[in-house]
Chain A
């Protein structure tokens, strides 16, 4: 799509949203600000309420309390089909009885766009996702990745105010997932659209997002940029959710330290903090080795480059473990 078609997405603001099904409370007074044009990822384990939140924003469900604003307007009374929202589902949800072209043009038909204009925009959208030569196929004749791209084109072609994606890549294999991650991100940046993206894969969240919202049992544990969540986690839950983390007790208080920031052996001695431990396990991971060592009562995990000495550490060996002040993450 060319620059003149660029649509700027709208901001989303959630204010004290509460939702329960029967006696189970799924969302507890959740508030969140998503600026326009932001790629926001909802991250959290299964059952944390990500999909429910998405359904509330889309309008499939109504909150028990709280206000949802899209572009500053309260959408509480706006039905789903008037919210101008794009949505991409994990199982694609393509209309099985329509060709790819008709799937994509469906939303334009609803908006009574003239046939010529509609055809132009459908072609444009299909080209954007790289499927312009499959326009006349039925969804069942496409691979999973192709189906998901059709779903993306169908959601984007209506120029939605916000794009909601619920684990859109969950059913795809790893390589395809990575390709599509990049593709989605490129398109999002180009269009300047606001995306709310649900995943429970922390790597995916780190790769794609401007903002990550980590949820736990219906509440926000921490929200911020990937860097903030990775390097300045508020608590152990956040620290461990995004990556493996060691916890140590320093004079300044409890702290976390990522395995890759630990130095072992001779390198350790020059660091600000040095401990000693006994190697318990060594796992070869390719570029790195994962060394588990016993320090006092606790296990400490370090990732060290393999380099050319695969036998640098052996089980039972005593080893020095060091790290720098700059890599310490104070944790409440």
Chain B
């Protein structure tokens, strides 16, 4: 290279920057994830080979020691059962949503999503109140003589299955709903004229046409289920110990980092394998977008003028029952929180605000809520800024680099949070980050970033690049164009991402368990500590307040989205 080329090269660089535009903005989020996501996870994996007894000794122990073997099988088994159960439960709801008027369908969709966005701890607590031996369900069943003696539905397999299907089901309901909506009414008519009755219609038309949507949803459910920690820990018994719990146990009780690392490797490999399989088979767009098939003259199928068939009506009743199942735990805490009995009896005998008073009287609740908000104050702006930058950068790139970065920005929601929590713990303790809010705040940026990324990315896809070119052509600089043209267009999408970032941060308990100390503990962590000992009615008051806050935040989102249409 000669010296003369220095000046032209600078010109070339500028041209490249102009051409690629803002692709460089993907750099900060990439570096951030490299340092606070990839590095801690990698170090944990390397730790797995650091056992004094030999690099592979923890892996041999996983195979040799029955407890570990059993936990692996249990994890896969529970994952499979939850997936099957979610599919079975999702069908009637999706069918119900597809056959009611769109307005009602949207409302039902909110009902399906509400448990998904409600804090895992609040849900779990509510389920325990509902299902335990002297809980609401048993009271109802014994009082109506359906059961002679109360049966415990929690602290065993049924508890884990109920708790996990409840929250994972939406992943199947929505793709399935879209698949139903994409079925052309004329296809049904054609099948009917050819002689198909309701059963054949279901078997030969509905099932095959909805199968891809179900398969996509089921894959996500299975993958997420493998990494579950809180629900099996609180709602299961010793026989339902899953791998995530063993990782935590090895870090906290055994201080066996090599073993924790090895278990993480196994779990991570399983998750990544499923994730990349999913990407290969369905494509990333299927992950959250609605892949509703559309074509010329497609009339979404609806219930015919001759009304619902008997099986159609049965589906309707089932759908209603599943919706009740989805909403029950969210609803039950409201009456429970205004009862006066300390034994959580149902129905509450005397109305009182006793537990709300108790809540205010105990400084720890307010302190932990304040901690949660402080952490969110770090996590939400951080995730919003970095997630938006990531989406902007990826939108400027093409080919392999774009796809690679896209995967990187989504991965934090694929990797089981327990792995990230343990990895960050290992990384942050020596840096003293566990004291104060920064450690958890940074961790929350990592897990919230994908939500902002996806939602900003969706908004950018809807943004007409010609508007940008027009603004630049009219003489605006890139920053001016961004501020005056692009930001207003993608603003609502970014705002939605910020809201999901807030909910993610505010609800997280797994990272909080590892990355906070007693003084910095957040509200979910405090609830967790209370619930794992004994459920006091004060919890119901906390739950009500958390649900109301979530609801408020979701309504805020609806409001933002409405503004754009």
Residues of chain B within 8 A of A94, CB atoms compared: 190
- On whether the beta carbons of A60 and B305 are closer than 8 Å, the reply is yes
Per-position binary interface string of chain B over residues 273-316, scored 1 when its CB falls under 8 Å from any chain A CB and 0 otherwise: 00000000000000000000001111000001110000000000
Determine how close the nearest CB of chain B comes to the CB of A77; give it in whole angstroms. Answer: 11
B307: nearest residue on chain A (CB-CB)?
A62
Q: How far is the CA of A161 from the CA of B193 in the complex (A)?
A: 11
Q: How far is the CA of A164 from the CA of B186 in the complex (A)?
A: 13
The DSSP consensus for interface residues of chain A is loop
Residues of chain A within 8 A of B305, CB atoms compared: 60-62
Per-position binary interface string of chain A over residues 15-32, scored 1 when its CB falls under 8 Å from any chain B CB and 0 otherwise: 000000000000000000
The verdict on A87 contacting chain B, using a C-beta distance below 8 Å, is: yes
Q: Which of B190, B192, B194, B200 contacts A89 (CB 8 A)?
A: B190
Q: Which of A61, A93, A97 contacts B184 (CB 8 A)?
A: A93
Q: How far is the CA of A198 from the CA of B49 in the complex (A)?
A: 75
State which of A103-111, A189-197, A300-308, A314-322 sits at the interface with chain B: A103-111
The verdict on A135 contacting chain B, using a C-beta distance below 8 Å, is: no
Residues of chain A within 8 A of B359, CB atoms compared: none
- On whether the beta carbons of B306 and A93 are closer than 8 Å, the reply is no
Residues of chain A within 8 A of B192, CB atoms compared: 59-60, 80-81
Residues of chain A within 8 A of B208, CB atoms compared: 97
- On whether the beta carbons of A93 and B195 are closer than 8 Å, the reply is no
Within 8 A of A (CB), among B184-208: 184, 186-187, 189-197, 200, 204-205, 208
Determine how close the nearest CB of chain B comes to the CB of A113; give it in whole angstroms. Answer: 11
Within 8 A of B (CB), among A11-52: none
A58: nearest residue on chain B (CB-CB)?
B193
- On whether the beta carbons of B304 and A60 are closer than 8 Å, the reply is yes
A154: nearest residue on chain B (CB-CB)?
B194
Given contacts A62-B306, A97-B208, contact A107 B195 (CB under 8 A): yes
Residues of chain B within 8 A of A81, CB atoms compared: 192-197
The verdict on A259 contacting chain B, using a C-beta distance below 8 Å, is: no
- On whether the beta carbons of B298 and A91 are closer than 8 Å, the reply is yes
The verdict on B42 contacting chain A, using a C-beta distance below 8 Å, is: no
- On whether the beta carbons of A89 and B189 are closer than 8 Å, the reply is yes
Q: How far is the CA of A106 from the CA of B187 in the complex (A)?
A: 12
- On whether the beta carbons of B195 and A158 are closer than 8 Å, the reply is yes
A21: nearest residue on chain B (CB-CB)?
B305
Residues of chain A within 8 A of B209, CB atoms compared: 96-97
Determine how close the nearest CB of chain B comes to the CB of A151; give it in whole angstroms. Answer: 8
B201: nearest residue on chain A (CB-CB)?
A81
The verdict on A90 contacting chain B, using a C-beta distance below 8 Å, is: yes
Residues of chain B within 8 A of A93, CB atoms compared: 184, 186-187, 189-190
The verdict on A119 contacting chain B, using a C-beta distance below 8 Å, is: no
Residues of chain B within 8 A of A97, CB atoms compared: 208-209
Q: How far is the CA of A81 from the CA of B190 in the complex (A)?
A: 10
Q: How far is the CA of A110 from the CA of B192 in the complex (A)?
A: 10
- On whether the beta carbons of B189 and A58 are closer than 8 Å, the reply is yes
- On whether the beta carbons of A110 and B200 are closer than 8 Å, the reply is yes
Q: Which of B195, B197, B297, B304 contacts A90 (CB 8 A)?
A: B297
- On whether the beta carbons of B200 and A91 are closer than 8 Å, the reply is no
- On whether the beta carbons of B295 and A106 are closer than 8 Å, the reply is no
In the complex, how many residues of chain B place their beta carbon closer than 8 angstroms to a beta carbon of chain A?
A: 24
Q: How far is the CA of A158 from the CA of B196 in the complex (A)?
A: 13
Per-position binary interface string of chain A over residues 135-179, scored 1 when its CB falls under 8 Å from any chain B CB and 0 otherwise: 000000000000000010011001010001000000100000000
Most buried by B among A60, A62, A93, A110: A93
Per-position binary interface string of chain A over residues 59-80, scored 1 when its CB falls under 8 Å from any chain B CB and 0 otherwise: 1111000000000000000011
Residues of chain B within 8 A of A80, CB atoms compared: 189, 192-193
Residues of chain B within 8 A of A58, CB atoms compared: 189, 193
Residues of chain A within 8 A of B196, CB atoms compared: 81, 106, 110
Most buried by B among A61, A80, A90, A106: A80
A151: nearest residue on chain B (CB-CB)?
B190
Q: How far is the CA of A62 from the CA of B192 in the complex (A)?
A: 15
Determine how close the nearest CB of chain A comes to the CB of B325; give it in whole angstroms. Answer: 31
The verdict on A95 contacting chain B, using a C-beta distance below 8 Å, is: yes
Residues of chain A within 8 A of B186, CB atoms compared: 89, 91, 93
- On whether the beta carbons of A91 and B194 are closer than 8 Å, the reply is no
The verdict on A218 contacting chain B, using a C-beta distance below 8 Å, is: no
- On whether the beta carbons of A87 and B297 are closer than 8 Å, the reply is no
Residues of chain B within 8 A of A60, CB atoms compared: 189, 192, 304-306
B190: nearest residue on chain A (CB-CB)?
A93
Determine how close the nearest CB of chain A comes to the CB of B181; give it in whole angstroms. Answer: 15
Q: How far is the CA of A160 from the CA of B184 in the complex (A)?
A: 23
Given contacts A60-B304, A96-B209, contact A91 B184 (CB under 8 A): yes
B309: nearest residue on chain A (CB-CB)?
A79
The verdict on A312 contacting chain B, using a C-beta distance below 8 Å, is: no
The verdict on A86 contacting chain B, using a C-beta distance below 8 Å, is: yes
Determine how close the nearest CB of chain A comes to the CB of B201; give it in whole angstroms. Answer: 9
The verdict on A260 contacting chain B, using a C-beta distance below 8 Å, is: no
Residues of chain B within 8 A of A164, CB atoms compared: 193
Residues of chain A within 8 A of B298, CB atoms compared: 91
- On whether the beta carbons of A107 and B194 are closer than 8 Å, the reply is yes
Q: How far is the CA of A151 from the CA of B194 in the complex (A)?
A: 11
A160: nearest residue on chain B (CB-CB)?
B193
- On whether the beta carbons of A87 and B193 are closer than 8 Å, the reply is yes
Residues of chain A within 8 A of B200, CB atoms compared: 110
Determine how close the nearest CB of chain A comes to the CB of B206; give it in whole angstroms. Answer: 11
- On whether the beta carbons of A87 and B190 are closer than 8 Å, the reply is yes
B205: nearest residue on chain A (CB-CB)?
A95
The verdict on A85 contacting chain B, using a C-beta distance below 8 Å, is: yes
Closest 7 CB pairs of A and B: A110-B195, A107-B194, A91-B297, A93-B186, A80-B192, A87-B193, A93-B190
Given contact pairs A62-B305, A89-B186, A110-B194, enumerate 11 new A-B contacts (beta carbons under 8 Å).
Answer: A79-B306, A81-B193, A85-B193, A87-B190, A91-B297, A93-B190, A97-B208, A107-B195, A110-B195, A154-B194, A155-B193
Interface set of A (CB-CB < 8 Å, partner B): 58-62, 79-87, 89-91, 93-97, 106-107, 110-111, 151, 154-155, 158, 160, 164, 171
